[in-house]
Amino acid sequence: MSANASSGNPVQDTSLNRKDLGSASSISNASNSVKKSLDSNDHITGVIENQEHLQLTTEEAFFLSFGLGVLNVQNPITCETFSLDLLFSLFRQASYFPPRTPENVVPDDPFLLSYVVYHHFRSVGWVVRPGVKFAVDYLLYNRGPVFSHAEFAVIILPSYSQPYWHETKERKCEVGKREKKNWWWLHCVNRVQAQVRKSLVLAYVEIPPPAKPLLRNPPRPSSTGSPLADRFISLLYPSPKSFATSAALPVAGEGSGCGEGTTKQGDLDVRSFLKRYKVREITLKRWIPNRSRD
């Protein structure tokens, strides 16, 4: 009994060693076949195309161009670099669907509201990312999505507290529609943020009265041959007559003079224009009756 037991152990060890040798030989055979295939493809030469690309939102692109000065945006047709005032105008027009002409943009257009809040939080050190998956406008990270989860979720709300917006009955009615939010909406959004452990921040943007910026005529690209692309170009690049005859864009030298946020040369002073906007932050926490009893 003892002899059989002692002789059985080496047999089991030998079987294990044979399995290991078999797997090692199969691995070596696989590596040899891979090496042969690589050697057979040595005649194939060429550069591997990089499929990765960077996508920026309009707010991110304008912050890199205006706030940091590290990005130049070029016209894809003429390959000319957009100036800051023209880029600012194009982003405002493209924030609508369909895009609007320069004389039809308003002080509370979607791009202005988003960029003012984006610039505000970037200036105080937060990493700002889109928050569409949590039903908010922005998410605020301490260092970035790679290092930690977002601590705050931001919703942008326009505020019309200046007297201009309440001078006429039509303006008051229009402003009331834009500011109207019910408690059901607020509780739903706050509940979602509480479930994902984020604090909800309401970012109120004080909307100033409409200024009358003087915009220079943007260079109109040539026809692309595509009806849809030509239609988009016609919306973003109106004819020069619309700049001279529009009531919202007075011509330099007339009695109206240069409005706030413009320069004497007729170019939009983006820095002075954005200084007219202010941001107020209100942090909300979900009220839970069981935890809020006296």
Mind telling me the catalytic residues? 141, 149, 198
CA distance 49 to 210: 48
Which is nearest to 149 in space by CA: 132, 129, 121, 172? 129
The single residue listed with the structure tokens 């990312």 is 129
Name the maximum alpha-carbon separation found in the chain: 118
Q: Spell out the SS3 assignment of 228-270.
A: HHHHHHHHHCCCHHHHHHCCCCCCCCCCCCCCCCECCCCCECH
CA distance 208 to 159: 9
Cα 28 from chain centroid (whole Å): 50
> Can you say how many angstroms the Cα of residue 195 is from the centroid of all Cα atoms in its chain?
24
Paired strand residues for 283: 201
